Amino acid sequence: MKKKKCIAMLLAGGQGSRLGKLTTNIAKPAVSFGGKYRIIDFGLSNCVNSGIDTVGVLVQYKPLVLNRYVGTGESWDMAVSDGGVVILPPFAGETGGEWYLGTADAIYHNIDFIDMYDPEHVLILSGDHIYKMDYNIMLEEHIENNADLTVSVLEVPWEEASRFGIMSTDEEGRITKFSEKPKKPDSNLASMGIYIFKWKALRKALLDDHDNEKSSHDFGNDVIPKLLADKKKLFVYRFRGYWRDVGTVKSYYDSQMDLMDDMEHINVFTKDQKVFSNSNYYAPQFIGPKANVSDSLICNGCTVYGTVKHSILGSGAVIGDGTIVEDSIVLPNAIIGRNCKVKNAIVNEGVIMEDNLDVINEDGEVQVYGRAKLSI
């Protein structure tokens, strides 16, 4: 096995409980996004677009759809012989097994996986962020600084800084202080949950963390503060661009609408930094003789007889005659009957809405309708 410069570990085990019905039976990274994508597509596509062809995907919460979707990574051009995507669930050992207790614990349990590739650096990612990023630029800075850890940060408005993990730095960008959701922030550089570690440094930190009974085994709460206390070389990498953590139904809705309302900042049509997905056997969309579609993103496999305004229709969605869908997101394979009204709603995957049904959320508050029905 040839040695890898950098491999990625993508944390995809979280429940995303604030997404409510969207994650009843699907892990957050596998939740549909922008019609044909799933949230994890952005992280995986960033990897392949940055030349990283080896990714461990750490799963735990309801991984069925996620596992099936990611497969061998072929859809992201990562089915290569000396790398590829490997799904890494919690497992049992000689003395029994346990769930991943935290983000750092999840990586700790997969030290063997990383050692197989013997990489110089390890990129830690979250599977639930929407952004396009070339990790190579960050890696170059990381190498140039000879850093043990580089944390990607985003400048956020000062008034919002207390919602994030905030990095304070010196003039060279070396991290001097890290505070999780500080009441009185002294910096507005928010951690994006994207880390590049020297593997040697991370390996030791994980072993130390595992032995620390007081640790919650989390990168933000435990590993980074410990490295900082040990005077390791920690730097920030300033990312400038579109980045969203789709943690709530509102942010999930807003950032999907950004795909058409804010193309200047997040554009899935451009050929550079292309976002790949695994949803390719649908026929072209059929727009019916009396249909009226405007200001909307419509996917392959959709059939539209009614009216669709400022909405997103996921792959295979059907909109019946006389139905009006407005400011809404219809997830893949949902079927909306005739003469329905849907406004400010997210219609869950595979949901069947009978004729003459109204799902209207006024005052701009968006709600999720129905429980996802899983299908192949």
81 in contact with other proteins (CB under 8 A): no
Which part of the chain contacts other proteins (CB under 8 A), choosing from 19-27, 52-60, 103-111, 309-317? 309-317
Compute the least distance from the CB of residue 42 to other proteins, in Å: 13
Q: Could you give the strand order of the β-sheet that contains 324-326, starting from the edge strand earlier in sequence? A: 292-294, 307-309, 324-326, 341-343, 358-360
46 binds other proteins (CB under 8 A): no
| Residue 269 is a binding residue for other proteins (CB under 8 A) | yes
Burial, 34: exposed, middle or buried (Cβ in 10 Å; 0-12, 13-18, 19+)? buried
Instruction: Quote the least distance from Cβ 205 to other proteins, whole Å.
Output: 38
Q: Where are the alpha helices (DSSP H) in 159-248?
A: 199-211, 224-229
By the 8 A CB rule, do 236 and 173 touch?
Answer: yes
Residue 335 found at the interface with other proteins (CB under 8 A): no
Beta-sheet pairing, 307-309 with 341-343: unpaired
Residue from 281, 362, 363, 364 binding other proteins (CB under 8 A)? 281
- Per CB under 8 A, does 286 bind other proteins? yes
Among the listed residues 98, 155, 295, 354, the single contact to other proteins using CB under 8 A: 295
Q: Which stretch binds other proteins (CB under 8 A): 12-20, 108-116, 219-227, 293-301?
A: 293-301
Site for other proteins in 190-219 (CB under 8 A): none
Rule CB under 8 A: say whether 283 interacts with other proteins.
yes
Query: What residue has token string 């919460």?
Result: 61
Asked if residue 104 lies in contact with residue 223, where contact means CB atoms within 8 angstroms, the answer is yes
CA atoms lying within 13 Å on the CB side of residue 289: 0
Q: Is 296 in the site for other proteins (CB under 8 A)?
A: yes
Which whole-number Å values give the CA distances from 132 to 3, 49, 255, 265, 275, in the listed order?
A: 27, 9, 13, 10, 8
Applying CB under 8 A, which of residues 80, 86, 116, 260 lies at the interface with other proteins?
Answer: 260
Q: How many residues line the site for other proteins (CB under 8 A)?
A: 38
Q: Is 256 in the site for other proteins (CB under 8 A)?
A: no
Query: Residue 160 and residue 109: Cα distance in Å, rounded?
Result: 34
In the complex, which residues of this chain contact other proteins (CB under 8 A)?
A: 34-36, 75, 260, 268-269, 274-277, 280-301, 303, 308, 312-313, 316
